[in-house]
Structure 1
Amino acid sequence: MPSPYVPYSPSKAAIAGHTIHRLLTSFPIACFTLALATDIAYWRTSNLMWLEFSAWLLLAGITVGVVAAVFSAIFYLVRYGTRALRLGWTAAIGTLIVLVLAFFNNLVHATDGWTAIMPWGLALSALTVLAMLVTLWLGASLAYGPGTGGRTYD
């Protein structure tokens, strides 16, 4: 009986064996997580420096996140194995939700002082990180699952 797994074929759009969208995705993950940490620091200290850090981290994460989403969409549409999976659409929608949440969070952080973080800024940062974790789990299932052309570890 033939294997249900598509044999591993490395992507041509890769650096040192890692696809470009996977490399770019790491930056928004760090930025959105650190934005939550700086929001918590601002909540605890009321130091405006943390508010500024959060706003810049969100902006940087959104900018690189959009570029990563474009590369991810290209990868998703070109590779046959990933187009066949419904999980890909779920991960794509999750990525859009994360970027939209981060955008609105950045708008909230653009307001002045304490009201920029408490309560909506902190809540949106936590919600962004939560949605990001779910999307990362879906993306990892997509990248390393059966039929994707990626390595499977079973």
Structure 2
Amino acid sequence: MAIEERRSIISRAAIAGHPLHPMMIHFPVAALIGLVAADAAWLLLEDPFWQRAALWLCGTGAAGGWLASIAGLVDLLSVQQIREKVTAWCHAIIAVMMLSLASLNWVLRYSAGDEDRALVCFYLSLLTAALIGLAAFLGGRLVYEHAVGVEVES
């Protein structure tokens, strides 16, 4: 099997050559992963602090994720080499599914007290976290295998 020569795929949504999407996703990912722990703490301890923390983590993670997705969408739609990658489309579709679940989770929490829907919200948090893992795996493939947004020395 021939080794494919890797070439850099430059991001259009970048500042001084640094792609925005990978810079923006860390905080929303941390919030949505932390949401699982906050939900577990609320279910185990029933301390209202964890209910409020979960609401804020969910809203922050969903809103921040949608903002980060804008930079990813700019690259997906404006860079032909990225558009040609099946991995990029799979990453985008899974990210939209994950952010939709996180948004639904936030709406459920905001519209009713967590006591009413605690278990449903916890399951949504777990599913969101699993989709984050899958999207992160695919995003890593885009960076490390396809050189999206990185400079490859020749």
Is the TM value for this pair above 0.5? yes
Interval containing the TM-score (normalised by the shorter chain): 0.7 to 0.9
Aligned-pair Cα RMSD in Å: 2.4
The answer (yes or no) to whether the contact 1:90–1:138 under 8 Å persists in 2 is yes
Q: Distance in 1 between matches of 2:149 and 2:107?
A: 39
Amino acid at match of 1:112: G
* Shift of residue 62, structure 1, vs aligned partner: 1.2
State whether residues 48 and 113 of structure 1, in contact with CA within 8 Å, keep that contact through their aligned partners in structure 2. Answer: no
2-side partners of 1:50 and 1:124: how far apart? 16
Please say which of residues 8-17 and 141-150 is displaced more in the overlay: 8-17
Q: Equivalent residues in 2 for 1:73-84 (5 A)?
A: 73-84=73-84
Name structure 2 gaps, 5 residues minimum.
Answer: none
In the TM superposition, residue 130 of structure 1 has moved relative to its aligned partner by 0.4
What SS does structure 2 have at the residue aligned with 1:55?
Answer: helix
Percent identity over the alignment?
25
Deviation of 1:112 (Å): 1.6
Name structure 1 gaps, 5 residues minimum. none
Q: Which stretch shows the higher mean deviation, 102-111 or 22-31? A: 102-111
Contact 2:9 2:82 in 1 (8 A): no
Whether the 8 Å CA contact 2:9–2:149 is kept in 1: the answer is: yes
In structure 2, the residue matched to 1:34 is: 34
The answer to which of 93-102 and 69-78 deviates more is 69-78
CA distance in 2, matches of 1:151, 1:88: 18
TM-score for the superposition, normalised by structure 1? 0.85
| Contact 2:12 2:78 survives alignment (8 Å) | no
1:59-103 Cα deviation digits (max 9, x unpaired)? 111111111111001112222321111111111101100111101
Using the size of structure 2 for normalisation, the TM-score is 0.85
Match of 1:127 in 2: 127
- Aligned residue pair count: 151
Q: Which amino acid aligns with 1:138?
A: L
